[in-house]
Amino acid sequence: MTLDLGYALYVSVVCTFFGWLTYGMHGFGLTYPVVCGPLVGLLLGDMRTGIIIGGTLQLVYLGVVGIGAAIPVNATTATTVSTALCIITGISMETAVALAVPVAVLGQLDRMLAWTLNTPLMHIADKYAEDAKYKPMVRLTYVGSLIFWITEFIPVFLCIYFGSTFVATLNDNMPAWVTNWLSASTGMLPALGFGMLFSMMYKPRYIPYFIIGFVLCAVFKGSLLSVALIGVAAALINFGQSTNARKKGAN
């Protein structure tokens, strides 16, 4: 499938937009996979695919957080590109999710490049601030924002325009054992995401809740909603007990 250049540019701009929002509207949640995936799907005419891929990748990158100067893998670009390629080329969702891993690393590299290019601009802006030259300082922020846009757009466009045909051809000629491996790895990725999250918030007193949730899902086939509501109830009980204990200690 060969993409029209205009359509490829449109898709690339849409995908780049969400990744670019990381530095301006992150608080609106538009950069989270579970949000940007469905939105890309909506704009490309297949919201169902966007919901499934976005929800899956949200689980994968649930425990990925940028701390300080550390730049995490680019989950937003991974989601938007994977969703777009799945809709455009018709590859399976399992393959699209698996492709998100290298795309996320590529997105991480382009963000590192953007930060590097913006470093001299920050020092120039500091000098403008010392001299109370606010207008040039503001103009520099626009230049920096443009650098983020360009470094985000280039890899996304390459993935969409050149990668679509390649991915479709690769998928058509892919051996069965590779497809099976991708399906298996896709099923493992959400577990990896939960494992990373659990390692960050691990405390011995939380182990019983983890076991209860596992048994409800694995043994009693509880739905996500029912298990989540039980988790909320357990959290409220634990919070209430902790509050009462603090009050008694204060008295």
**How confident is the model over 67-109, as pLDDT tens digits?**
544 566 778 888 888 888 888 877 788 878 877 777 777 777 7
Domain boundary at 163, 189, 215, which?
A: 189
Q: How far apart are CA 88 and CA 3, in angstroms?
A: 9
Q: How far apart are CA 46 and CA 48, in angstroms?
A: 6
Q: With bands split at pLDDT 50, 70 and 90, how would you rate the model's confidence at 49?
A: very high
Query: What Cα–Cα distance (Å) separates residue 247 from each residue in 20, 67, 107, 210, 251?
Result: 46, 34, 49, 28, 6
Whether the predicted pLDDT of 163 surpasses 70: no
Residue 86 placed within a domain: yes
On whether both 14 and 65 belong to a single domain, the answer is yes
Q: Measured in Å, how far apart are the chain's first and last C-alpha atoms?
A: 73
On whether both 158 and 86 belong to a single domain, the answer is yes
196-231 tens-digit pLDDT: 677 777 778 778 888 888 888 888 888 878 888 898
Q: Exposed, middle or buried, 104 (CB in 10 Å: 0-12/13-18/19+)?
A: buried
Q: How far apart are CA 44 and CA 3, in angstroms?
A: 14
The least confident of 80-89, 144-153, 181-190, 204-213 is: 181-190
Whether the predicted pLDDT of 193 surpasses 70: no
What one-letter code names the amino acid at 132?
Answer: A
On whether both 59 and 25 belong to a single domain, the answer is yes
Residue 135 placed within a domain: no
On whether both 89 and 166 belong to a single domain, the answer is yes
Residue 111 placed within a domain: yes
On whether both 10 and 106 belong to a single domain, the answer is yes
How many residues can be counted in the chain?
251
Residue among 101, 19, 110, 27 nearest 60 (CA): 101
**In 10-148, beta strands by DSSP E:** none
Domain interval for residue 216: 203-251
On whether both 46 and 154 belong to a single domain, the answer is yes
On whether both 170 and 215 belong to a single domain, the answer is no
Please give the pLDDT value at position 48. Answer: 92
On whether both 152 and 212 belong to a single domain, the answer is no
Please give the pLDDT value at position 148. Answer: 84
Residue among 87, 112, 85, 88 nearest 100 (CA): 85
Whether the predicted pLDDT of 24 surpasses 60: no
Residue 133 placed within a domain: no
On whether both 106 and 216 belong to a single domain, the answer is no
Residue 235 placed within a domain: yes
Mean pLDDT across the stretch 130-156? 85
On whether both 162 and 47 belong to a single domain, the answer is yes
On whether both 180 and 219 belong to a single domain, the answer is no
| Structural domain count, the chain | 2
On whether both 64 and 183 belong to a single domain, the answer is yes
